[in-house]
Amino acid sequence: MPEYGISARVSRHLQRRRALGAGRTAVAPFVGQRWDQLRDQCLEDGCLFEDSRFPAVSSSLGFKELGPGSSKTRGMQWLRPREICADPQFIVGGATRTDICQGSLGDCWLLAAIASLTMSERLMSRVVPSDQGFDDSYAGIFHFQFWQFGEWVDVVIDDRLPAKDGELLFVHSAEGNEFWSALLEKAYAKLNGSYEALSGGSTSEGFEDFTGGVTECYDLDKAPKNLWRLLIQGLARSSLMGCSINITSSGDMEAVTSRKLVKGHAYSVTGLEEVEYDGQLVRLVRIRNPWGQVEWTGAWSDKSPQWDYVSDDDRERLLINNEDGEFWMAFDDFMRKFSRLEVCNLTADALADSATQQWSSVTHGGSWISGCSAGGCRNNTRTFWTNPQYRLRLEDQDEDQEGCTFVVGLMQKGRRKVRRQGKDLLTVGYAIYEVPPSLMGKAQVKLNKSFFDHQASAARSEVFINMREVCSRHRLPPGEYLIVPSTFAPNEEADFILRVFSEQPSTTEIMDDDIEITVPMVIPEDVDIDPSFAAIFEKLAGKDGEISAAELRRILNRVVSKHTKLRSDGFSLDSCHAMVALLDKDGSARLGLMEFNFLWKKIKGWQKNFRQFDADNSGTMNAYEMRLVLKEAGFQLNDKLMQTISLRYSDSSNTVDFDNYVSCLIRLESMYRGFMALEKDDDGVAALTMGQFLMLTMYA
């Protein structure tokens, strides 16, 4: 008899599954695991799923406080729901806010986000698919769907859950036999590398990973005057909302105030209402504590006298009056008692088709790469311009005709996963610049240092901060703007996404230089050569009257060694072969007088440029100087090519010495000449045979 009688109804289940199809195609399987295939295989084999990608071992719990040998996990077991209770259920009576009670993991921020999620059946059904449970199709496998940096992923888990003394160690439901919230937490832990990776965070992170939305954060002591209206608008757009109270010391963490509010704790904002009280309209906010208990005891709390003086309809409709962690409080008290509010704005994809208000949104991926596109904030005047740049066009004003409202979100990717390596979030932010009329509508090339030297920002992120996402709302006149995302310090590496949500349709596109190369294609042959140079050449060339790559190497290294302001490890034989190949017309692999004269003048010109653009007189080029000096030499390149050059020619400190600089220029010119020789129709496209490709790359 298979475990739990799994195969008794396999045939009927599989027929139903195959008739229904494999599910959403817009969601990518996380780490290549397809839930439907794995579950069907388990049912056919009569076994329960065991997830090798997130196994029931200590490393899945954590790496420090929950790592191997931790006292917090001593005596812990991995138990399936049927080992915890006799009649486990996935969801009982629909998913509700009261199904989420915090365990011993510091992820109240996540649970507050889950609580808000349950308020929308549409959002909930996407994150928590309903096609699973403990019925005929049970095979010890479940799946959940999360938004991750621009795409939705489907995360498969087994249902072995951390438990101690027969009870769940982390999130659980009040009923004890309902497991959707515990399984959801496990799937999210897998997505981020471990349970411990979820410890500490912002509710906005959970909001966004459950919806794909972008979250605005407000400090309530300096909130906008129209905050209530913004919240009402958010409610109309099905926005998710969370709030918290700041702490002033570590001792304040989760300290309970005299009115039973918890400091440093993430709450969900679950409703907004206005009621008539004492002849006036009073604004109320409904809030939920993810603990499922410990509620506000001030005005408008469950047992407060204010409820005796509202209409019977309002009292019956709104009054909660039981200890479930959810309570009402006056908006004015909310503003005074809480410190921070987070509002997650949803995309049209997450909203119901009938939603009355929708944002227009666009997403771009990008990277800060040390020495190439990680220029740091505006304080770094020499390198700031090398950061990625995005042009934003605002055309249609808001309905009130007072400008164009938009929200910018800058999000770091995958930083929770690298906590095991001791890495954490970088300090990031962005600045927005108005594009001058003279540049509007022109090619999307990057704006250079001189633009930023003389242009003040039109708007910026409120702060540079080490959060996963920096987000701010702006209102600017119609026009074209430049968004420049950056880390605070230069040369810090990370991947990111930049999102723009606007009330009216807008367009955003990345700025990058077109590849433009302006070097002479023909080596002049009628050049007068100085007799003294010809005499030196004759002496260097020897009896055969030509200079080989080995001879060229000795000449160049002897000359460079005399220039103390040029740092060099010496030209390699391979580099000198490339120089000879660039000018070798007859395939002799040697340079005659005319060819050597042309090369010598070229290198002297490159040396002059090198010293001109070596702004710090280091004798080397950093990647930013390299971009400028290559352009001066006739090579305007895009970001991807500059990144490749940096990887190929920079040393460990992201600098390029003189010999590598010359080698880079030789390679660029050789490849350019080879391409142009094969281009037939002057259309920027060359068709190569395998032999031509190998010849071009081998002798470049």
Active site residue 108: yes
Nearest to 673 by CA among 571, 574, 585: 585
Q: Among residues of the chain, what percentage have pLDDT more than 90?
A: 37
Residue 579, Cβ neighbours under 10 Å: how many?
Answer: 27
680 and 686 Cβ atoms separated by less than 8 Å: yes
* Active-site pick, 265, 372, 491, 664: 265
Active site residue 265: yes
Mean pLDDT, residues 85-100 taken together? 78
108 and 243 Cβ atoms separated by less than 8 Å: no
- CA distances in angstroms from 538 to 379, 590, 597, listed in the order given: 54, 14, 12
Distance of CA 673 to the CA centre of its chain: 39
Q: What residue has token string 């050059």? A: 645
Q: Identical fold at 360-512 and 531-698? A: no
CATH architecture of 218-245+255-345: Alpha-Beta Complex (3.90)
Residue 400, Cβ neighbours under 10 Å: how many?
Answer: 7
Mean pLDDT, residues 273-294 taken together? 90
**What per-residue confidence (pLDDT) applies to 582?**
82
Dist. CA 562–CA 449, nearest whole Å:
33
CATH architecture of 531-698: Orthogonal Bundle (1.10)
CATH of domain 360-512: 2.60.120.380
Instruction: For 199-221, write each residue's pLDDT tens digit.
Output: 888 888 888 999 888 888 889 99
To the nearest whole number, what is the mean pLDDT of the chain? 85
* Active-site pick, 42, 101, 108, 372: 108
- CA distances in angstroms from 237 to 68, 350, 400, 470, 687, listed in the order given: 45, 10, 18, 21, 52
**What is the four-CA torsion angle of 271, 276, 278, 280, rounded to 10 degrees?**
100
Q: 648: pLDDT confidence band, cut at 50, 70 and 90?
A: confident
List strand residue ranges (DSSP E) for 452-581, in order.
459-460, 469-476, 479-487, 494-502, 506-511, 516-517, 547-548
Instruction: For 432-458, write each residue's pLDDT tens digit.
Output: 999 988 877 666 778 888 899 989 999
pTM reported for the whole predicted model: 0.75
Q: Domain limits of the chain?
A: 3-211, 218-245+255-345, 360-512, 531-698
Dist. CA 261–CA 295, nearest whole Å:
7
Active site residue 143: no
- Which amino acid, 80? R
**What per-residue confidence (pLDDT) applies to 308?**
93
Dist. CA 451–CA 387, nearest whole Å:
13
47-56, 78-87, 635-644: segment of lowest average pLDDT: 635-644
Residue 648, Cβ neighbours under 10 Å: how many?
Answer: 12
273 and 311 Cβ atoms separated by less than 8 Å: no
Instruction: For 467-495, write each residue's pLDDT tens digit.
Output: 889 999 999 999 999 999 999 999 899 99
Q: 364: pLDDT confidence band, cut at 50, 70 and 90?
A: very high
Q: Among residues of the chain, what percentage have pLDDT more than 70?
A: 92
* Active-site pick, 172, 243, 289, 372: 289
Mean pLDDT, residues 269-285 taken together? 93
